[in-house]
Amino acid sequence: MRLFGDTWRYLTAGGHWTGDGGLLDLLGQQLLLTLTALVLALVIGLPLALWLGHLGRGGWLAMNISGIGRAVPVFALLALLVTAAWPGVRTAGPYGRAGLATLIALALFALPPIITNAYVAVQEVPGHVKQAAVGMGMTGRQRFWRVELPLALPLVLSGVRLALVQVWATATIAALVAGPGLGRVITDGFARTQYGEGLAGAVVVALVAVVLEVAAAGLVRLSVRVPRLTSSA
Amino acid sequence: MSVTLLAPLTVRAESEPSCYSRLVNHWVCPSYWQDRASDLRSATVQHLEITVIAVALGLVVAVPLALLARRIGWLRQGVLGLTTALYTVPSLALLPLLVPFTGLTMTTVVIGLAVYALTILVRAVVDGLDSVPPDVKDAAVGLGYGPLRRLVRVELPLAVPVILAGLRVATVSTVALTTVGSLVAYGGLGNLIADGVRTDFRAELLTAAVLCVLLAVVLDALLVLGGRLVTGWRRA
């Protein structure tokens, strides 16, 4: 298996990790892109979805947005953004070439899982629980903060977790428009027919995806423990 | 009217395209659609071909895998866990893994996408078969149905709505993912998108992107329609 040998050699050679454009450099860049895009999507999507779920309105948005997100290829969206007059291939701070376009595309792709899960989570808090809250004299706002949100939290957070891993994996596509991130190792490998190198990039991306998934799952478990205890008490 | 007006227009279109050239780079450009109609057609056909074969392959592998997973307890967790893990691997990452074996061919793209479709479809088939009410299965046993006949005549038809929902998700995402195949020059409309980025050709880029979304919408609608036909008993 020459391919896997090449991959192993590429990954174990220290020189490939350090320096400008090295694996660590690209990894940091992609991590920064992923987290920024996720935060952007959270700031935009979460309040909207939670509010709509509280009102029980706009279900068509929550239901159809994931379909739209699936149907639009990230590559196509990224290509359009890069070719347009704005944002084009502008660099945004530490995000590298075409960083702004990549950031926008990734934030848009983080929106569907966040919105759908948050909406469904609040919407599906059992009716009798909501009625009990009304019966206790809670106002709409109190009902949302003290009843609906704590009960909805696990599902809301699982949407965020899904978005995080998806955005991380999708960020590699930025390399198809010569953008930032680890995808560049893969496309470079193709350009020079060094498939072992390409695979090395892929391995790093997949490993970090697993680490992110596990870390996010741990964080979710930690943060969800509080409302569970209070609800059973 | 048309004869006198069209004649000078076509002459001009031949000498210099009105909305795409080195200096003019419009997003929407009807003369591009006319001049490159055959390119657009062949890219769309390739896109459709890759998507349909990949999803079909994924489904053909998913059904026996799901049946096995339902039979054997530990395999169920394993299969479902593995397919979830696979989905976190970026689509771009599967290509360098496959190319050394299958080369820069359409097969590479089809296999990669089939694996992705598989991850969605296995779960859908398992969920679908789980959704069949136990009393219906008992009734089939009582009617003297053997295991195979029960599966084909009772359980699979009843699982169709759930499987179809998974098939729609798999198909729509496969249409979008096919564009990534442009890395090995078999990306259907993705090839035009890649070319559009390389040559800064806006009309080509936007047309290919829109066709891609349209293709997803049309295939999704066809699946919904097909599902209605297959599950006629649901309306009865």
CATH assignment at residue B93: 1.10.3720.10
Contact predicate A135/A82, CB 8 Å: no
Whether A206 and B90 lie within 8 Å, measured CB to CB: yes
The string of pLDDT tens digits covering residues A54-78 is 998 888 888 888 888 889 999 999 9
User: Is position B18 within any domain?
Assistant: no
Q: Nearest residue of A to residue B87 by CA position?
A: A166
pLDDT (0 to 100) of residue B62: 93
Answer whether residue B14 is part of any domain. no
pLDDT of residue B81: 80
Would you call B180 an interface residue with chain A, using a CB distance cutoff of 8 Å?
yes
Chain-chain contact of B209 with A77 (C-beta, under 8 angstroms): yes
Residue B45: which of B172, B186, B181, B188 has the closest Cα?
B188
- Which of the two residues, A13 and B188, has the higher pLDDT score? B188
Structure tokens at B168: 């729609």
B206 contacts in chain A (CB < 8 Å): 80
> Which positions ≥6 away from A218 have C-beta within 8 Å?
none
Residue B64 lies in a domain: yes
Residues from chain A that touch B213, judged by Cβ atoms under 8 A, are: 71-72, 76
Does residue B13 lie within any of the structural domains?
no
* A11/chain B closest Cα distance in angstroms: 15
**Torsion over CA of B170, B175, B178 and B180, rounded to 10 degrees?**
-100
User: What domain range includes position B189?
Assistant: 39-231
Which of A2, A177, A206 is the closest to B89 by Cβ? Answer: A206
Q: How many domains does chain B have?
A: 1
Residue B19 lies in a domain: no
Calpha distance B150→B156 (Å, rounded)? 9
Digit-coded pLDDT (tens) for B81-120: 877 777 677 778 788 888 888 989 999 999 999 998 998 9
- Please check whether residue B32 lies inside any domain of the structure: no
Note whether A73 contacts B93, CB cutoff 8 Å: no
Q: B25 — phi, psi (to 5°)?
A: -140, 70
For chain A, domains (ranges, CATH) are 22-232 (1.10.3720.10)
CB B188 within 8 A of CB B178: yes
Identify the bridge partners of residue B25 per DSSP, sorted by sequence position: B20
Residue B26 forms part of a structural domain: no
Q: Where are the alpha helices (DSSP H) in chain B?
A: 2-15, 30-35, 37-71, 73-87, 91-102, 106-130, 134-142, 147-150, 156-178, 189-199, 202-230
Asked if the ipTM is above 0.95, the reply is: no
Asked if A114 contacts A40 with a C-beta cutoff of 8 angstroms, the reply is no
In which residue ranges of chain B is pLDDT below 50?
1-13
